[in-house]
Structure 1
Amino acid sequence: MRLLIALLALTTSFSVLSAPKANLWPYWNVSNEQSTDTISHQSWQNILDEYLVMEGQHTLFRYSAVSKKDKRLLEKYITMLSSLTPQSYSKDEQYSYWVNLYNALTVNLILDNYPTKSITKIGSFFSFGPWGQNIISIDGKELTLNDIEHRILRPIWNDPRTHYALNCASLGCPNLQPLAFTAENTERNLEKAANGFINSDKGALVSSNTLRLSSIYEWFIADFGAEEDLFEHLSKYRGELSGYDGKVNYDYDWKLNGK
């Protein structure tokens, strides 16, 4: 019976109780603000240009079409990023570094396990997805996707729009942005990503007197503040949500964002 209960728990959707909290890893909270060095993300941009397609409200990735040459290009890009010491760059340069790395690692992970119906099917038998597994070594430290998101990006930058920048290869996730993040375009990219998600049905869908929000807003409500703060954030991009006081429920689609 205990085994059956464990198996059932593994098949349930990601819950607010299991959403990782922001927990700073101080080792990475160092920067060199005098540095003018930049990191090239052109290889990642080339991949995005070649394999991202818009379909309705979704940006889909053509995993099945990725050539061996471009798979090697992606792996070479990830290796290049892993060879750097991000703390030696400015905070602005670091932000784009970590966001692009997270997204590139996620795409590469799907390609390594393709075909798959969902990223949640990847990982050990007793895990919900691959987020907790060591996936890359940087500056001598083994990191997971969870480390990048919840121990670096969220606690260091404290910007809830980071949730719109990271893509988990799922239809319910904010779209993978067509422009690689750079220190120069981060603000524009974040605003575009936030606006696009909140104005999509997967971000916020109003039906009768019920508002269906993405589960992101339930899992990570601490990043947005109290419910009043959340609706202030949402209404900044979608005015009709200002002062909403009806019923709210949450949903998320874990199906692969593939084509």
Structure 2
Amino acid sequence: MRILKFIIVFVITSSVYAQNVESFFKETNAFLQTYVQDGKVNYKAINNDPSKLNSILELAKNTSIDAKDANTYQAFWINAYNLSVIKGIIDVYPTKSPLDNDGFFDKKTHELAGKSITLNDIEHKLLRAKFKDPRFHFVLVCGAVGCPPLINKAYLPNTLNAQLEAQTKLAINGSFLMVNVKKKRVQASEIMKWYKEDFTMNGTTEIDFINKYRTEAVPANSKISYFPYNWTLNQQ
């Protein structure tokens, strides 16, 4: 009887957690479609009525995520990061930049999936450290213009790889780089300077990474430098 009770409780609990995850993705998708356009966030409208955002984050707070299910785990934490950035901005709104708020990334904690965690911990401990995937840098949106654009849909387990690829290609072929092919010079976002080790794994160079996603390849012997990061709020 004890074993049977344990199985019943386990099945019910697992079902509840699964429903939470599914609801989280569904509600996140609807939220982003409402408040995000062309990579910019309508913070003013969210600030006027934060109930939907708070409801989604309450779902995230009570969701259980297992890294063994890598796609669901990654999709959850990418969305959770992006929503928590928005929540962090709303908590201090109006503000001109996330950096105007001390500890925005490394001190302020968010209650997510049973953890009290900072934005930096999500990025560096739960994602980068576990999966060694440089494409995370093009989907984690830090609330600034210099960040990759926030898409107006949720990252989902069954489309995650395609979404990671699409956003990386968009960045590498867009404002993330300034290329002068004739002079063999590439200026890149400071992201590539800050996280150089992510873009030079397995003996590759930054130019190798760039050319993997560039429509028009840059010369392999191009010199790379970095332009300043724009920390202005990514506000509509």
TM-score (normalised: structure 1): 0.76
Structure 2 residue aligned with 1:95: 74
Residue 33 (structure 2) aligns with: 49
Residue matched to 1:6: none
| Counterpart-to-counterpart distance in 2, 1:90 and 1:228 | 28
Aligned: 1:219 with 2:194: yes
Counterparts of 1:75-154 in structure 2, within 5 Å, are 75-87=54-66, 90-123=69-102, 129-138=103-112, 140-154=114-128
Name the amino acid aligned to 1:47.
F
Change (3 A) 1:108 1:139: closer
Matched, 1:65 2:38: no
Q: Is the 8 A contact 1:179 1:189 kept in 2?
A: no
Counterpart residue number, 2:213: 237
Say how many residue pairs are matched.
214
Shift of 1:225: 1.3
1:123-171 Cα distance to aligned partner (Å, 9 max, x none): 2xxxxx5111142234654211111000110111111101111000111
Q: How far 1:49 moved relative to its partner? A: 0.9
Per the alignment, in what secondary structure is the counterpart of residue 205 of structure 2? helix
**Structure 2 counterpart of 1:196, one-letter code:** L
Following superposition, the deviation at residue 93 of structure 1 comes to 0.9
Q: How many Å apart are 1:63 and its aligned residue? A: 1.1
Residue by residue, what CA displacement relative to the aligned partner does 1:195-216 show, whole Å, maximum 9, x if unpaired? 1111112x11114633210111
Matches within 5 A, 1:246-257: 246-251=222-227, 252-257=229-234
CA contact (8 A) 1:212 1:250 kept: yes
Larger radius of gyration: 2
How far did residue 253 of structure 1 move?
A: 1.0
Instruction: Give the 3-state SS of the residue equivalent to 1:86 in structure 2.
Output: coil
Gap runs ≥5 in structure 2:
1-13
TM-score, normalised to structure 2, is 0.82
Deviation of residue 219 (structure 1)? 0.5
Aligned to 1:167: 141
Indicate the SS of the match to 2:143. coil
